[in-house]
Amino acid sequence: MLEVVGLRKSYGDTVAVKDASFCIEDGACYGLLGPNGAGKTTVISIITGTLNADGGRVLLDGEVVSTDNPGPKRKIGYVPQDIALFGEISAHDNLRFFGSLYGLYGQHLLNRIEYSLDLTGLKDRAKEPVANFSGGMKRRLNIAAALLHEPHVIVLDEPTVGVDPQSRNAIFDALEILTSKGKTILYTTHYMEEVERLCQRVAIMDSGCVIAEESLAGMKRMVARQNEVFVELEQTVTMAIGELPGAVSHSIDGTTLTMEILDLNRDLPRALLALSDLGLKYVSVRSQESSLEQVFLHLTGRRLRD
C-alpha cells in the first residue's frame, strides 16, 4: 500500500503542496489529476524519493520513502514525462545500461529485458538504434526501463503525450496486464478518457491541495448534473413543453429531447410518463453519465490545460 499523509512542500514563499493526502491500495491503478501548477510534479518527486517534503510523509508498505532511504525506493519504477534514453544505441543496450544501475546482471538481466520489451511491444525492434524510433516507441521503451527491477509501484507522469494511437493502445494494454498481476500504478495525464479507462480511483489536485479523492464512479456523482438523457421523438414537436416531472431541465432540437435527470431509476419513468400524457411518442431513449471532465470543471472551475 502507498500512503501519502499530510504532505507539505514550499519553494521559498511559494507553497507547492498543502497537506496533500491519499492512499493507493495494492494492485490498483490510481489517477492523479490537476491543472498545471497544481502540485502534481512535486508530489510525484516526493513519492519517488527524489525530493524530501517539508512536512508529512510517504509510506510504502509501512516504510517511509525519502531521498536517503533506498529500501522503499527500489520498489518504485518511475516513468518520467521527458524521454530518458540514449538515441545512438539499441533498445536492448539501453535496457542493459538501466538494468545495471539497479544492480541487475547476467541471465536475470537478460530475462528482465526480454520480458519488458515483450510487454511493451518492442521485442522485434530490440537491436535497432533508439534514434530510429517514433515518439510513441520511445515512450514505450521508457516504460520498459522502469519495469526492469520488478517494482511493486509504477509511477507514470503523462506517458502518452504526443504518441500515436498504436503506441497508446500498447501502453494501455501493458498497464492493464501489470495491474492484473498485482502491480500498483500511479498515473498522471492530461487526457480524461485515459483515466476513465484505466483507473479505479482518482484524486484531483488544485493549488497544492487534494480537493477531491474518490472512486471513479463516486467522482462522477459529485456534480448535480448526474445524467443526460436523449429521447428521440417520433416527430418534430411544434408545441411548447412546460415542466417535465422528474427532469431537472430539458430542451428540444428537432426530434431530439434532451433532459437532465438526477436519478435514472427514480426520475426517468416519471419524465417518460409525462411525455406520454402530452401525446408525444418516442422511438428511443439513451443516457449519458457525467464525464470526468465535467467533474473537473465543476471542482476547479477551469480546464486541465489552463
Note the Cα 152 to chain centre separation in Å: 18
Domain 2-220 has CATH 3.40.50.300: yes
Instruction: Kindly state the average pLDDT of the residues 253-278.
Output: 86
Question: What's the Cα-to-Cα distance from 102 to each of 58, 108, 112, 114, 294, rounded to whole Å?
Answer: 22, 12, 12, 16, 42
pLDDT at 223: 65
Asked if 122 and 140 count as a contact pair (C-beta separation under 8 A), the reply is yes
- Every domain range in the chain assigned CATH 3.40.50.300: 2-220
- In the chain, CATH 3.30.70.2470 covers 227-289
Cα of 148 vs its chain's centroid, Å: 22
- Terminal alpha carbon distance of the chain: 32
- Rounded Cα distance between 260 and 288, Å, is 10
Q: Which of 70-79, 194-203, 264-273 has the lowest mean pLDDT?
A: 264-273
- The C-alpha R_g of the chain, in whole angstroms, comes to 24
The percentage of the chain sitting over the pLDDT mark of 90, rounded to a whole number, equals: 58
Q: How confident is the model at residue 132 (pLDDT cuts 50, 70, 90)?
A: very high
What is the reported pLDDT for 156? Answer: 95
Average pLDDT over residues 29-43: 90
Q: Distance (Å, rounded) from C-alpha 192 to C-alpha 113?
A: 31
The pTM for the full model equals: 0.79
**pLDDT at 76 > cutoff 80:** yes
pLDDT > 50? residue 306: no
Residue 104 has pLDDT above 50, yes or no: yes
What pLDDT is attached to residue 121?
93
- What is the predicted pLDDT for the residue at 304? 52
Position 249 pLDDT exceeds 90: no
The percentage of residues in the chain with a pLDDT greater than 70, rounded to a whole number, is 96
Domain 227-289 in CATH: superfamily? Protein-tyrosine phosphatase receptor IA-2 ectodomain (3.30.70.2470)
Query: Considering only CA atoms, which of 190, 191, 162, 160 is closest in space to residue 174?
Result: 160
